[in-house]
Structure 1
Amino acid sequence: YVGQEKCRPIEGWSTIAFAKDWQNGARLQNATSFFYFASDQWRYEESGTDSLKSPIGGDVAYKHPADYNVLAARLGWLPSFPQFNKNSLLFAEEAAKAGDATNEGIIKHAVDEVASKKTKFAVEDPGAPENFPRSLFVWRSNLISSSAKGQEYFMKHLLGASSGLLASPNEEQKPEEIVWRDDVEGKLDLLVAMDFRMTATPLYADIVLPAATWYNH
């Protein structure tokens, strides 16, 4: 299953998804951080960072773990997608309109936009309509009812389905660096499952594609 769920997508799917025939390998975001925000689990967080620090390490800068994701994204330590609150391709268009379409000009324009906060990191406002995922492709991984940690959050906030979620957002412990919005339910417009079994994920998917390989026929 490691080969089916992990190695095969890396070699096959990621070659297409990240244009490896055009450029070197892209920096990929860890799934834990992606789903933490996409499923809105950060809003229900009850574990503060005080419990994680060393007793001789002094105070923590942030009490909410989500703030450290924001910090890591800002400093370039952690790839975070969507990256900004607008399409990254717009940097090139805007630089060209300003009269400098060179690589250096585009980079300078992007840096200036972020430094001036005209453009913001999407993780700073994950509930904004332009900042959350609208489509999700699941290749041979039974995300719903199996791999997803905190399935009820996935059902409510990603799928907009009946969820059975009992928890309420923890408004007493809000992040400092993230905009707090009302609940967003059913973020995804499209869920595509590629699998060889009719498991829970294909049952909830809009499109199901056969993905039999090697020993599955």
Structure 2
Amino acid sequence: YVGQEKVRPLTGYGMYATASDWSRPARTMIGTAFFYLATDQWRYDTSDASHLASPLGAGRFTGKLPADLIATSARLGWMPSYPTFTRNPPDLAEEIRRSERPPGEYISEQLRSGQLGFACEDPDAEENWPRVLTVWRSNLLGSSAKGDEYFLRHLIGSEDSLRASETPPDARP
């Protein structure tokens, strides 16, 4: 087991991996939330997120599922979520360029009008599927995936041995 320990040069790799040549600091999404949405584990989840809240809290998590909290955190800018929007980033950038308006103003207006949404609000929509998956120093399907049956069925689209039943649509986020 030799050769996996270091990325050389790390600085160059980090630049590409996090697009830090465009903006800083890099905004990377936590893998747990990414795979929870990308592998459709939210379709099977019935846990009430209120058990995550402080007993002194105002009850904001009551009746919400973990997927609801992921979407809320993305909408409020607390945590990045990828894919971010319901449109292809290069297409969105071209729309912004043609509008001749500042990007923040354009995106804000599009979100308020409902013409643009966050991909995490509807992870199964075709335009919201992750298109690129980079796995570094990991055996995603062999040992690193938690719930590999979900990965096989929903991310890869292959045969699986999933025994869980999906939550009825009216009980999903």
Per the shorter chain, which TM-score range? 0.7 to 0.9
Corresponding residue SS for 2:133: strand
1:108 alignment partner, one of 94, 105, 108: 105
Asked whether 1:87 is paired with 2:67, we answer: no
Equivalenced residue count is: 169
How far 1:56 sits from its partner (Å)?
A: 4.6
Determine if the alignment matches structure 1 residue 168 to structure 2 residue 169. Answer: no
* Residue correspondence of structure 1 range 97-136 to structure 2 within 5 A: 97-98=98-99, 100=100, 105-136=102-133
CA distance in 1, matches of 2:46, 2:68: 14
Q: Deviations over 1:55-109 (max 9, x none)?
A: 45353344211101111000000100000000233344223333x25xxx23211
User: Residue 66 and residue 10 in structure 1: after superposition, are their counterparts in 2 closer, same or farther (change >3 A)?
Assistant: farther
The answer (yes or no) to whether the contact 2:85–2:128 under 8 Å persists in 1 is yes
For 1:160 and 1:57, locate their aligned partners in 2 and report how far apart those are by CA, in whole Å: 40
Q: What is the TM-score with the length of structure 1 in the denominator? A: 0.68
Distance 1:123 1:95 in 2: 22
Identity of counterpart residues, as a percentage? Answer: 45
More strand by share: 1
Computing the radius of gyration from Cα coordinates, the structure with the larger value is: 1
8 Å CA contact 2:50, 2:62 repeated in 1: no
Deviations along 1:173-200, one digit per CA (max 9) or x if unpaired, are 311xxxxxxxxxxxxxxxxxxxxxxxxx
Q: Which has the higher contact order (CA 8 A, sep 6+)?
A: 2
Q: Is the 8 A contact 2:28 2:80 kept in 1?
A: yes
Q: Match of 2:33? A: 33
Consecutive unaligned residues in structure 1, runs of 5 or more: 176-217
> In structure 1, how many angstroms separate the alpha carbons of the residues matched to 2:50 and 2:94?
44
Q: After the TM superposition, which residues 135-214 of structure 1 pair with which residues of structure 2 at under 5 Å, given as runs?
A: 135-171=132-168, 173-175=171-173
State the SS of the aligned residue for 2:134. strand
RMSD: 2.6
| TM norm structure 2 | 0.84
Instruction: State the partner residue of 2:16.
Output: 16
- The letter for the 2-side match of 1:93 is E
Q: Is the 8 A contact 1:9 1:139 kept in 2?
A: no
